[in-house]
A and B are shown apart, each in its own frame.
Chain A
Amino acid sequence: MSRPILLRGGRVIDPSRGSDGIADVLLQGGRIEAVGLNIIAPDGAQVVECAGKVVAPGLIDVHVHLREPGQEDLETVATGAMAAVAGGFTGICAMPNTDPVCDNQGVVGFVIAQAQRAAKARVFPIGAVSLGQKGQQLAEFGELVGAGAVAVSDDGKPVASSHLMRMALEYAKTFGIPVADHCEDPTLAAGGSMHEGIISTRLGLKGIPAAAEEIMVARDILLAELTGGHVHLCHMSTRGSVDLIRRAKDMGLKVTAEACPHHFALTHESCLGYNTNAKMNPPLREDLDREAIRQGLKDGTIDVIATDHAPHHYDAKEREFDDAPNGIIGLETAFGLAMSELVNTGLLSLPELLLRMSTTPARTFNLPGGTLATGAPGDVVVLDPAVQWVVKPDAFFSKSRNTPFAGRTLTGRADLTIVRGQVAFQRTS
C-alpha cells in the first residue's frame, strides 16, 4: 500500500464540479480520499505544501504517438509516459499507427503491458478503424475494446471512404466509443507540405488548402447525423472547420473536436526559412485560423486540447522541407503554451483551461480521471502557474527533440504529477 499524500493549501480547481478555492487534497489507497479545509494528515502521509500552486485533476491528452511497437528509436511507451507525467499528464491516448498497426487485441494488450511496466502516466490505446489502416476492412472493434482500447482511429491517414467511415460510426455505437478522424481529403492534400497561402507561394512549396480539412469535417458531420455515432475530429486547424463544428453542435450532433497547442500558438510564418520543425499535418495555418481555434476553445466548439505528440528523429527533420516527416512533440510544452497563449492573454480562465485539458478529454473518451470527486482515481497534478522557464529540448524526457518552441520562454508547468495515488513525477530543478 502506498503512502497517503496530502496536498496542503493549494488553489484547488476541479472543473468537473465547478469548484475553485484554497483547500487540501488527500489521496489514499490510490484514490481521492477527501478535498476540504484543514484536513489532518494521516499517519505516515507525505505532506506537500502547495501554497501558490494549483492542484487539479491530472491533465489528459487524447492524441499521442508513442511509436512502440516499431519505432522505439523515436519513442517508447515508457519514455512517452514519462514525458507525459513531466508535462502534467496523468493519462494519454496512444494512436494506433505503430508497426505493426494497433488493429488487433494483441497490440492493444502489448501497449497496456508496456505502460504497466513503465508505471508513469496511464496509457489508453486507440485501435485502428481499418485493418492495417488501409481503409478497406473494419478492424475488430469488439476485441480491441475488450483488450482495453478506448476509441478507434486511422490517424495519420484519413478514412478516405465515406462508406467505411459510415460503417465505423455505426459499428462503434455498439461499444460506446468515439471514432477519431484525421480530416484530410487525400486528393486535395496530395504532395502538399505546408498550408496553401502566401507563405507557400513565396517558398515555392506545394500547399494543402484549408478546404482539404473542411471537406472531411463536413462529411464526418453529415455521417454523424446519418448514423447517430460519435465522431471525434482530430487536430482542427482552420476557421472553416470551427464554423462547421459550431453548426453541428447547434444541431445537437454527437461531434467533438480537439485542437493542438501549435495550432493556437503558431502560424504558417513559422515555416519561413524552410524550418522543418514547423512542418506538421494538418499544417500551421493563418492568423485568422489561429484566432478561430482560440475562439473555439473559448466557446466550447473545440472540446479539448490535445498535443498530437509526434516524435521524429533529428536526422529525419534535418532534411529538405519536402522530404522531412510531419509532426512535433508536445507533451512537455502543452501546459506552458496553453498558459502563455490562452490564460495569460486573458482568453481563458485557468478553470476553463483545465476543463479543456482534463475534465472534457476524460468525458469525451470515457476515461477515468478528470475529476477530484471523492473516490475518483488518484490522478492529480500540482501546477506552478507562474513559473517562467525556457524550452530546452535537451532536457526533455521524450526520446525525441523535434519542437519549434526551443528557446521560447513559457509560463507555467507541472511540479508534481500523481498517478493512481503515487508520485509519478516530481520536479527537482
Chain B
Amino acid sequence: MPTPLGKDLTALEYLSADQIRLILDTAEPFKEVSERQIKKVPALRGKTIVNLFFEASTRTRISFEFAEKRLSADTVNVASTGSSVSKGETLVDTARNLEAMHIDMVVIRHHASGSAEFLGKRIRSSVINAGDGKHEHPTQGLLDILTLRDKFGKIEGLKVAICGDLLHSRVGRSNIHGLLKLGAEVAVCGPASLLPRDVESLGVTVIPHIEDAIQWADALNILRLQLERMTAGYIPSLREYNRVFGLTAARLDQAPKDLVIMHPGPMNRGVEIDSEVADGPHSVILPQVTNGVAVRMAVLYLLAGGAPDWAQGGGSE
C-alpha cells in the first residue's frame, strides 16, 4: 500500500519538503504520548518490526524500540553477533528469512553506505534506515530539524552550521539535505581533511574556522569526532582538535547572539565540545533525544500506512 512517504525511509535526500514537514507535523502529537502515564497508543497493534542492528548503538536502538512499543508494535531485536550474520549469512539472506516469518518493517543500522536502500529494493517490508555507513541517518536528521523548529518556530531562513567530521558523518548528510529542503542556509565547518570532496556540491558553504561559524550561525550542530580518525591520520591529535576546532565556552562567549547548540551523541567531552557548553543553557542535546522518540513514532506510523489526520487528532483508532 503506498504511503505518503513511499515504502521505505532510506535518505532525506529522497524526500520532498512536504514529506519532511508531514513527518515533523505527525511527530507533534506523538510527543504528548510519551508524557502520559500510560505511554501507549494502539496505532501499530499487530504490526511486527525487526530491529536489525549490525553496528553498536545505544541511543538510536533504544529510541526506535521505545517508539515501536509506544505504538503497540511487536518487536524483535537482532544484533550481528550471536546471529546467523556471524556465520557468514549475507544481508539479503538474513532479511529474506526474517520476511518469511511475515514481518512488516525492518529498522536497519549497518556499517555499509547504501545498505538500507539495498535492502529496501530486495524485500517487500518497509525499511527504515537507522544509519548506513557514512551515508545518511534520516531519523537523526529529522529529530535535529524538529528540535530546531521547536526552538525557532520555523526552519526557513535559519542559519545552521554543522561542525566537525563531515567526511564520515551520516548525521551531517541527513541534516544538510533536510535543512536545505526546508529553506535553511547550511554551512559546514571543520578541518579540510575531514570535509568530503566538493562538499559545496551538496548546497552548503564552507566556513573553515569555528570562530567564524559562531559569528554566522543561529545554531550549531557539533558532530562526534570518531576517536580512530587520529590514528588513521586525518588529524594530528585530539588535543589539537579541541584547541583549534572544539566548541569551547570561550569561543561561544564571542557569539553575537544566543546560539542553539546540538550534538547527536555520543559526545566526546573535551574534544569536539566542552562540558560547560554541552551542559550549558544553550544546549538542546537532551531535547534532541526526547524528540527522537516522537520523530521515530511518526515515521513508523506513516510508513505503516497510518493516516496523517489520525495522528493530528491524537485519538484512538
Q: Give Cα distance in the complex from A205 to B198, angstroms.
A: 13
Please indicate the chain B residues that have their CB under 8 angstroms from the CB of A321 in the complex.
112-114, 118
Knowing A274-B117, A320-B115 are in contact, say whether A196-B197 is a contact too (CB < 8 A). yes
Among the listed B118, B134, B201, which residue makes an inter-chain contact with A204, where contact means beta carbons less than 8 Å apart? B134
Among B199-238, those with CB < 8 Å from A are 199, 201-202
Task: Kindly count the residue-residue contacts between A and B in the assembled complex, taking CB atoms under 8 Å apart.
Answer: 63
The answer, yes or no, to whether A347 is at the interface (CB within 8 Å) is no
Pick from B113, B117, B132, B202 the residue with the most CB of A within 10 Å: B113
- Cβ proximity bits B104-127 to A, threshold 8 Å, 1 near / 0 not: 000000101111011000000000
Pick from B136, B196, B199, B201 the residue with the most CB of A within 10 Å: B196
Please indicate the chain B residues that have their CB under 8 angstroms from the CB of A205 in the complex.
113-114, 133-135
Q: Give Cα distance in the complex from A196 to B118, angstroms.
A: 21
Tell me, rounded to whole Å, the shortest Cβ–Cβ distance linking A197 to chain B.
6
The answer, yes or no, to whether A319 is at the interface (CB within 8 Å) is yes
Q: Give Cα distance in the complex from A323 to B91, angstroms.
A: 11
- Cβ proximity bits B255-298 to A, threshold 8 Å, 1 near / 0 not: 00000000000000000000000000000000000000000000
Among A155-198, those with CB < 8 Å from B are 196-198
> Would you call the interface of chain B mostly helix, strand, loop, or mixed?
mixed
Knowing A273-B117, A274-B117, A320-B118 are in contact, say whether A201-B112 is a contact too (CB < 8 A). no
A320 contacts B114, C-beta separation under 8 Å = yes
Knowing A197-B198, A320-B118 are in contact, say whether A203-B135 is a contact too (CB < 8 A). yes
Please indicate the chain B residues that have their CB under 8 angstroms from the CB of A315 in the complex.
90
Among the listed A200, A274, A318, A322, which residue makes an inter-chain contact with B197, where contact means beta carbons less than 8 Å apart? A200
The answer, yes or no, to whether A209 is at the interface (CB within 8 Å) is yes
B91 contacts A204, C-beta separation under 8 Å = no
B198 contacts A203, C-beta separation under 8 Å = no
Among the listed A202, A206, A207, A209, which residue makes an inter-chain contact with B202, where contact means beta carbons less than 8 Å apart? A202
Q: Give Cα distance in the complex from A197 to B200, angstroms.
A: 11
B201 contacts A198, C-beta separation under 8 Å = yes
Q: Give Cα distance in the complex from A273 to B121, angstroms.
A: 10
Please indicate the chain A residues that have their CB under 8 angstroms from the CB of B69 in the complex.
none
Tell me, rounded to whole Å, the shortest Cβ–Cβ distance linking B226 to chain A.
14
Q: Give Cα distance in the complex from A61 to B191, angstroms.
A: 46
Tell me, rounded to whole Å, the shortest Cβ–Cβ distance linking B108 to chain A.
11
Knowing A203-B135, A320-B91 are in contact, say whether A209-B113 is a contact too (CB < 8 A). no
Q: Give Cα distance in the complex from A17 to B201, angstroms.
A: 50
A322 contacts B112, C-beta separation under 8 Å = yes
A204 contacts B202, C-beta separation under 8 Å = no
The answer, yes or no, to whether B7 is at the interface (CB within 8 Å) is no
A203 contacts B201, C-beta separation under 8 Å = no
Among the listed B91, B114, B117, B201, which residue makes an inter-chain contact with A201, where contact means beta carbons less than 8 Å apart? B201
Q: Give Cα distance in the complex from A201 to B134, angstroms.
A: 9
Pick from B114, B115, B196, B201 the residue with the most CB of A within 10 Å: B114
A204 contacts B135, C-beta separation under 8 Å = yes
A202 contacts B13, C-beta separation under 8 Å = yes
- Cβ proximity bits B26-54 to A, threshold 8 Å, 1 near / 0 not: 00000000000000000000000000000
Please indicate the chain B residues that have their CB under 8 angstroms from the CB of A274 in the complex.
113-114, 117-118
B133 contacts A204, C-beta separation under 8 Å = yes
A201 contacts B196, C-beta separation under 8 Å = yes
Tell me, rounded to whole Å, the shortest Cβ–Cβ distance linking B243 to chain A.
28
Closest to B169 in A: A204
Among B164-191, those with CB < 8 Å from A are 170, 173
Q: Give Cα distance in the complex from A201 to B141, angstroms.
A: 17
Closest to A200 in B: B197
Q: Give Cα distance in the complex from A315 to B122, angstroms.
A: 13
A320 contacts B112, C-beta separation under 8 Å = yes
Q: Give Cα distance in the complex from A342 to B198, angstroms.
A: 30
Please indicate the chain A residues that have their CB under 8 angstroms from the CB of B199 in the complex.
201
Please indicate the chain A residues that have their CB under 8 angstroms from the CB of B115 in the complex.
320
Knowing A274-B114, A322-B112, A322-B113 are in contact, say whether A201-B136 is a contact too (CB < 8 A). no
- Between-chain CB contacts (< 8 Å), 8 pairs: A197-B197, A201-B196, A204-B132, A205-B133, A274-B118, A318-B92, A320-B113, A321-B118
Other A-B pairs, 15, CB within 8 Å; known A201-B196, A204-B135: A196-B197, A197-B198, A198-B197, A202-B13, A203-B135, A204-B133, A205-B113, A207-B197, A274-B114, A274-B118, A318-B92, A320-B91, A320-B110, A320-B112, A322-B133
Residue numbers of B with Cβ under 8 A of A are: 13, 90-92, 110, 112-115, 117-118, 132-136, 170, 173, 196-199, 201-202
Residue numbers of A with Cβ under 8 A of B are: 196-198, 200-207, 209, 273-274, 315, 318-323
Going nearest first, the 10 A-B pairs with the smallest beta carbon separation are A204-B135, A274-B114, A320-B112, A204-B134, A201-B196, A198-B201, A204-B113, A322-B112, A198-B198, A320-B115
